[in-house]
Chain A
Amino acid sequence: MAGELSTSPGAREAQRKPVGRTVWVSGPVVKAEVEHSVFMGEQMEVGDERLIGEVIGVSGGQALLQVYEETEGLGPGRPVFSTGLPMFVTLGPGLVGSVFDGIQRPLHALEKAGPYISRGTKATPLDTEKRWHFVPRKRAGEKIGAGEVLGIVQETSVIEHRVLVPPEVSGELASVVPEGEYTVADVVATVRRHETGEEMSLTMAHRWPVKRPRPYHSHLRPEVPLITGQRIFDLFFPLAKGGTAAIPGGFGTGKTVTQHQLSKWAMADIIVFVGCGERGNEMAEVLLVFPELADPRTKRPLMEKTVLIGNTSNMPVAAREASIYTGITIAEYYRDMGYDVALMADSTSRWAEALREVSGRLEEMPAEEGFPAYLAARLAQFYERAGYVETLGGATGSVTVIGAVSPAGGDFSEPVTQHTKRFTRCFWALDKDLAAARYFPAINYLESYSGYLDEVGEWWHRKYDARWRALRDEAMRLLQEDSRLQRIVRLIGEDALPDEQRLIIEGSRLLQEACLQQNANDPVDTFCQPEKQLALLGAVLHFVKRAEEVVKKGAPIHRVREMAVREEIVRAKEKIPNDQLDRFKELTRRIDEEMDALYRDFRRVT
């Protein structure tokens, strides 16, 4: 199978002849009478327009296909063609910076056919004309193994594309081309394979079945945080490289803005953004913004490290299902080169609904809310493809998966949210009430959690500050204590509480305003360096600690609230840029000054 997959794109097209005929068509589901050679999961082409489809069931001489394009106009008696391959994607230089639909057709290439996506339009995933400058890294006669770097190509100004020996291929390099310009269809090397002794040609591209995870050498412990520049995540609910996170939230809670923020600022080498069943205008916005926005590390346009997959809500529903697999396979491919890849899927609920829709057409027995019983298994298979690994070639790389969930009615008890919770280790719950109060990011800090605290804590302590975990836990305690007190406040009012308790409420309020809330539209606050995150949290907690001492001496709470320095702390996130962290020392000094003054006042009075 690997041999087939490794042949250059387009080589087999000419040989195809029909293997059967359609007998039944309803929406995306088609039944066909076929030869026995057709196998489960095989990619097929249906009708004279050769619509792309996949075998989702075989019995006797009949195959059940799901078709990834509109089937209007298709009827019984039309030819069905076999490809002999499972549903695959083509992997090679040219992926980064591209925009694909769910079945890896480049959307810019489809533009030639007009502004609408019409049926049967074919376009090769990778530009077969474009010449890449290939620099070989191996010499003829060398032994090579799967996943080793055969040569390199500068794919964009920031991404060096490492052309790897495809998985399942090893042997002796019989020949390799000299450094020069080649297309993805050109043979760049031949290998004499160990097992069979036959010679096999390699190009810079190869195919891989989307539903099969790409192999790696070993799984590593996810202990490096994926820094996102968003304080609520990095400080409170950190995600590790190779980890999984779910962002559930009703409409209007800022799910998409959060996903966009993560794509823009997450410290990953490659971003794969899968717009799965979402709005067309959002895709237009991404395409407008990403080429203009600079990556904070490389200062190059974000698009130069991004692969976009856009299957909007009005595009064929079966291709929406495929888009998730296409995305994760591309992510694994760059992981194998030794990169840290972050995959954003917006939204996995639409993907689950696509499963439900196809399942309904197949008249399968539904489980909860009409979803098929295998929903949980499919979600698990998807999230399990995340990981921090040692690759076959000996490098380390990671795929981090961040899936948005759109629960019906904003109710987290629905099946997709519940199953997703089982398979992801970070849960970032978006809250409708917080969003309505224009509190952004609207992450509910009581409902959210991260399973990576212990793992990434060591990294923070080693790299920045041994107090990271202590500060974080102290802040969480303050928030939890506050939430307990708020229940009482709702009954009797804040003024009726004793001063120590009012100080907790006051401290939590400051923590939320100064630290948890973050303005995505502010040029400074949109991305916050880890050092600044710690400095800011440190300043807030220092203020709270000093205020406790002063209030114990009898200073009224309103004097603390009215301090000039409080306003300065709140504004620090926007006023102090990432590269002027010395100013936090000044801020701490001012907190001490004002607190000392207040302390003296009350010593005098008492």
Chain B
Amino acid sequence: MMRESGLFQCGLKSVSGALVFLEGARGISYGEMVEVIGGDGRVRPGRVLIASRETVALEVYQGTEGLSPAETRVRFLAHGLEVPVAEEMLGRTFDSFGHALDGGPEPLAREWRDVNGAAINPAMRAYPRDFLQTGVSAIDGMNTLVRGQKLPIFSASGLPHNRLAAQIVRQAEVPGERAGFAVIFAIVGASRDVADMFRRSVEESGALGRVAMFVNFADDPAVERLITPRTAFTLAEYLAFDRGMHVLVVVTDMTQYCEALREVASAKGEVPSRKGFPGYLYSDLASLYERAGRIRGREGSITQVPILTMPNDDITHPIPDLTGYITEGQIVLERELDRADIYPPINVLPSLSRLMSDGIGAGRTRDDHAHLSNQLYSAYAYTRRIRMLAAIIGEEELSGRDKMYLEFGRRFETEFVGQGPEENRSIAQTLDRGWEMLKLIPAADLTRVSEQELAAHLK
């Protein structure tokens, strides 16, 4: 990142947490990158938070330990935080700033771009309506992901969201377009074990060639976590809108990101709003999530699957709550299903894909998809109600019809929702399996599918 020399400034006024303050700097700008050089000669990147004639506030990435006011020098770089972007970054692993973490050479960047990107002109957006296959039935069949959509996974501590994330990274594809498809995996605040697990799982599957990983470890400074997803999206935007690729970005764990944001905000002395998070949490999350989409007249697309763990399993916590207001639906993992040893433990009832109805059907997935998923949803919703009743009055007391639903529910959870972590189902396999499930409930109840569909699929 030492691409140009800048203005030097010696001496700091004070150091506080991840922030340093200095006086009397001239010709600087808000958001400008700096290099903070301690007495030990170590160079730490940082950024101008308050640009003022009197006191300038900087946030310093990689920690402020070892900085003494007298011995520290600051170099102003006259540009925002920029990271390298290149197609050759696929297949590699980087840190939050785009430096190689895999022992390989630094990327030969064609271009450096500002990590913050810029807002897509809403009038230039193309409405997303093309299918993206994850090979996971509960997603593809019931909450279909569409290219250009942002669909988060709401998980909780102890649930297998990491395994699901790795599975989606390995399996995701645009049917029939494997060549122009890339996956960018941003790992925010993960332990080294988990990060290693992700890397191995991608390597072993042979999908590594189309995956770029950006890793921020749990013990890296919090302020760096704010950069990791932005670096990932900057590469995604280059690949999608300059190189015409379909890009899937998976970010885990957004909760770590938000907590870092809170930590930095509190260090800056900002007024907190809900649960101590800053008042701009919504705008900040939107600046990430809204980097998904398609642009009129351009080939590629950016699809996002952010993963977050709901603190205390609470879906009304500010992190899942504000996320849900920005994203186009959510996939909800449920502890009860996990306890019953069902993987992936996706509860399809609170899950939702807002863009699904326009992204499925003949020519996209299959003509029977909408009716089939509707029927499965209503049958499963009924099953859950019957289960509550059975818990009160006992299963024996149920009518024969209701007992059929209980059986449907069991098989739906184990055979349709449930699948192996290595099992990759095509959309046709998913839908056919859905029809198998419908054989378990009374034919008279199949009112949401048409007679032609019944004749074609339930012979």
Contact = CB atoms under 8 A, between A and B. Distances in A.
Given A24-B51, A73-B80, A313-B290, A370 B279 contact: yes
A252 B127 contact: no
A287 B125 CA distance: 9
23 contacts: A23-B53, A24-B50, A24-B52, A25-B51, A26-B50, A70-B118, A74-B29, A75-B48, A99-B123, A107-B122, A252-B330, A280-B120, A281-B148, A283-B122, A285-B127, A313-B283, A313-B289, A314-B291, A353-B282, A370-B271, A370-B279, A409-B317, A410-B321
B197 interface: no
Given A107-B121, A116-B121, A360 B278 contact: yes
A436 B325 contact: no
A350 B328 contact: no
Contact of A115 (B121, B316, B326, B377): B121
Interface stretch (B91-99, B162-170, B206-214, B349-357): B349-357
A252 B352 contact: yes
Interface in A265-309: 275, 277, 279-281, 283-285, 287-288
Interface in A312-335: 312-317
B124 A310 contact: no
6 closest residue pairs by CB, A with B? A313-B286, A370-B273, A409-B316, A72-B31, A314-B290, A107-B123
Contacts of A26: 30, 49-52
B280 A117 contact: no
A115 B51 contact: no
Contact of A312 (B118, B119, B321): B119
A283 B125 contact: yes
A25 B290 contact: no
B430 to A, nearest CB: 22
Interface string A395-419: 0000000000010111100000000
A204 B298 CA distance: 38
Interface size class of B (residues with CB under 8 A): 35 or more
Which of the listed residues A26, A75, A436 has the most CB atoms from chain B within 10 Å of its own CB? A75
Interface string B111-129: 0000011111111111110
B279 A111 contact: no
Given A26-B49, A369-B273, A75 B30 contact: yes
A410 B315 CA distance: 10
Nearest to B117: A116
B118 A118 contact: yes
B270 interface: yes
Interface string B338-381: 00000000000110100101000000000000000000011001
Contacts of B117: 116
B32 interface: yes
Interface in A337-356: 350, 353-354, 356
Contacts of A369: 273-274
A77 interface: yes
Contacts of B328: 279, 281
Given A24-B53, A26-B52, A284-B127, 11 more contacts: A24-B54, A72-B29, A76-B52, A77-B26, A116-B120, A283-B123, A313-B290, A313-B326, A356-B279, A357-B280, A370-B274
Contact of A410 (B53, B287, B316): B316
Interface string B18-44: 000000001111111000000000000
A72 B123 contact: no
Contacts of A212: none
B51 A310 contact: no
A71 to B, nearest CB: 5
A275 to B, nearest CB: 7
Interface of A: 23-27, 31, 70-77, 99, 107-108, 110-111, 115-118, 250-252, 275, 277, 279-281, 283-285, 287-288, 310, 312-317, 350, 353-354, 356-357, 360, 363, 366, 369-371, 406, 408-411, 436-438, 521
A250 B295 CA distance: 29
A101 B48 CA distance: 28
A115 B283 contact: no
Nearest to A521: B357
B324 A411 contact: no
Contacts of B296: 115
Given A115-B241, A370-B272, A75 B121 contact: no
Contacts of B122: 99, 107, 275, 280, 283-284, 287, 310, 312, 315
A281 B355 contact: yes
A317 B352 CA distance: 28
Contacts of A99: 122-123
Contacts of A115: 120-121, 124, 241, 295-296, 298
B318 interface: yes
A313 B327 CA distance: 11
A297 B172 CA distance: 46
Contact of A363 (B271, B286, B381): B271
Given A26-B30, A72-B29, A73-B80, A251 B53 contact: no
Contacts of A287: 122-123, 125, 127
Contacts of B30: 25-27, 71-75
B121 A110 contact: yes
Nearest to B148: A281
Nearest to B31: A72
B118 A71 contact: no
A509 to B, nearest CB: 16
Which of the listed residues A77, A281, A354 has the most CB atoms from chain B within 10 Å of its own CB? A281
Contacts of B28: 75-76
A486 to B, nearest CB: 15
B32 A406 contact: no
A75 B32 contact: yes
B324 A251 contact: yes
B282 A73 contact: no
A406 B119 CA distance: 22
Contacts of A73: 29-32, 80
A435 B297 CA distance: 36
B49 A281 contact: no
Nearest to A251: B324
A72 B49 CA distance: 10
Contacts of A117: 118-121
Nearest to A314: B290
A281 B127 contact: yes
B371 to A, nearest CB: 13
B252 interface: no
